[in-house]
A and B are shown apart, each in its own frame.
Chain A
Amino acid sequence: MSVSACNVEMFPDIARILRALYRLILDGSLLKHCVASLFRVTVGFYLAIVTAVPLGVLLGLYRTLYRIVNPVIQFLRPISPLAWAPFAILWFGIGDLPAIFIIFLACFFPLLIAAVDASANINPIYFQVGANLQLSRWSAFANIILPAIIPNVMLALRMTLGMAWVVVVAAEMIGMKSGLGFLIVDGRDALRLDRVAAAMLVIGLIGLVLDRIMQQLGELESLRWKNARK
């Protein structure tokens, strides 16, 4: 009957979502899925930071190297990290690693480009002063390059973490058995839209908290000179 079609809700009401959320909290599965997702994001994000930022600084400072490597970067960059999923599973098997790899890819290129840009745009006068004072390589890095790029890199970190959080859910929808993305797919398959909505709610809340944390990091001591200017 046509009436029954109308009974299919376009969106579950808030009370049902909260009830689903409550049950997910009670049986411990929500915590488990959150931890799984956060773990993947953290590892992928950190791997991207420790590789993309040093490489970006190197490319930003040595233009010849940049000219050689840049076409490769620009070729790989537009390929959606999710397109790598089949290969990720093939290479790394089932488990956390494929998702971590996809998050790593999603974070790597934006961070790399931010680091290249930040270090290529350091005012050349600062390097002349450094050369004039005969600063050692290490001292020039610690006193000129690092503090000069930190503000831009911090901004990129904040934006990239948000992106990593978007990607982890998508990655977990492809062949994962845990995580908030899996929770959504699982809810969909069981036709439990209240659980899907509950997972979305949690994803949004965690995203908000992550952004707040990154914002706090922006007020670190090493950025005081920049903040004081505002």
Chain B
Amino acid sequence: MPESKIHFDRVCLEYPKNGNKSGLRFARTPRPNGQSTLVLENIDLEIETGEFVSIIGHSGCGKSSLLKIVAGFVRPTGGSIWIDGRPVEGPRADHMFVFQEGALFPWLTILKNVSLALNSARDQADRIKMARQYLELVSLEAYEDYYPHMLSGGMRQRAELARALAARPDVLLVDEPFSGLDYLTRLQMREEILYLHMMLEKTTILFVTHDIDEALQLSDRVVIMSGPPGRLQSCRPICVAHPRQLSSSVLDEMRSDIYHQLGVHAAL
């Protein structure tokens, strides 16, 4: 029986070649046949409770697909994922996915968006009160009656985080959440997520990104993927205390190493 928080056991994913990706919506298992594309190949990984792990790789290497398998949106065609010793069989509120694009419901105010995650609360008044607390956590309490489109990209992303956290997940799956934001907002969001991770120390975070600095600043461990087909290339623990100085020699060396592994030389 696996003892780690998240245990990846030879996870494979294949898509039929002429299959459409929209089938993902129903989490159908693509039928493996001769005409298929291998997306992920034998991913083995252990993640400990409370760990902040970043997954880095070129676009198309399958890192988002891997995250969707952990979330239970997509069923692997081979292998399995275990969380707390239980196999992942579908989406659950304690493994929250934070989406890349705006996934807030545009027809609900952000307060109502957040309160939707609190469907276990007893009565409406309780829900609203708790939803406000989560909005305070991301400093959006003044905007509770705003609809998502009235907020800036950074605020939307924070509201999305608040909604995910309101479900009280013990695993947070974050898929390039800041890629649509401007540079300054991204820096702010890094602080935000670091602060949240320290507040909720038992929460395990799996963070997909292609921003190496983001990974270096935030994570306890960086997982580098190659592909397609997606394979684990290497893991690099980062044993530097927060707040981290990105220009420090340790991180600098690590950065060059990651660039090298990814086969990017221009940046050096």
Contacts and interface: CB of A to CB of B under 8 A. Distances in A.
**A, B bound:** yes
A128 B92 contact: no
Interface in B80-100: 90-93, 95-97, 99
Contacts of A129: 97, 99, 103, 105
Given A128-B73, A135-B116, A148 B93 contact: no
A224 B145 CA distance: 12
A143 B108 contact: yes
Query: For chain A, which range describes its interface: under 10, 10 to 19, 20 to 34, or 35 or more residues?
Result: 20 to 34
Interface residues of B, number: 26
A133 B107 contact: no
Contacts of B103: 125-126, 128-129
B116 A128 contact: no
B101 A125 contact: yes
A124 interface: yes
Contacts of B90: 131
Interface in A57-104: none
Question: Which of A124, A134, A135, A139 has the most chain B CB atoms closer than 10 A to its own CB?
Answer: A134
Given A124-B22, A133-B119, A134-B92, A228 B105 contact: no
A124 B71 CA distance: 15
A125 B175 CA distance: 13
A133, A143, A224 — most chain B CB neighbours (10 Å): A133
Given A124-B24, A124-B25, A129-B99, A229 B149 contact: yes
A226 B149 CA distance: 10
A7 B76 CA distance: 85
B96 A132 contact: yes
A147 interface: yes
B247 to A, nearest CB: 37
Contacts of B71: 132
A225 interface: yes
Interface in B12-58: 22, 24-25
Contacts of A141: none
A144 interface: yes
| 3 A-B pairs closest in CB distance | A147-B107, A124-B25, A131-B91
Interface of B: 22, 24-25, 71, 73, 90-93, 95-97, 99, 101, 103, 105-108, 116-117, 119, 147, 149-150, 167
8 contacts: A127-B25, A132-B73, A132-B97, A133-B117, A133-B119, A133-B167, A147-B105, A147-B108
Given A131-B73, A132-B95, A132-B96, 11 more contacts: A126-B105, A128-B25, A128-B97, A129-B105, A131-B90, A132-B73, A132-B93, A132-B167, A225-B108, A228-B149, A229-B149
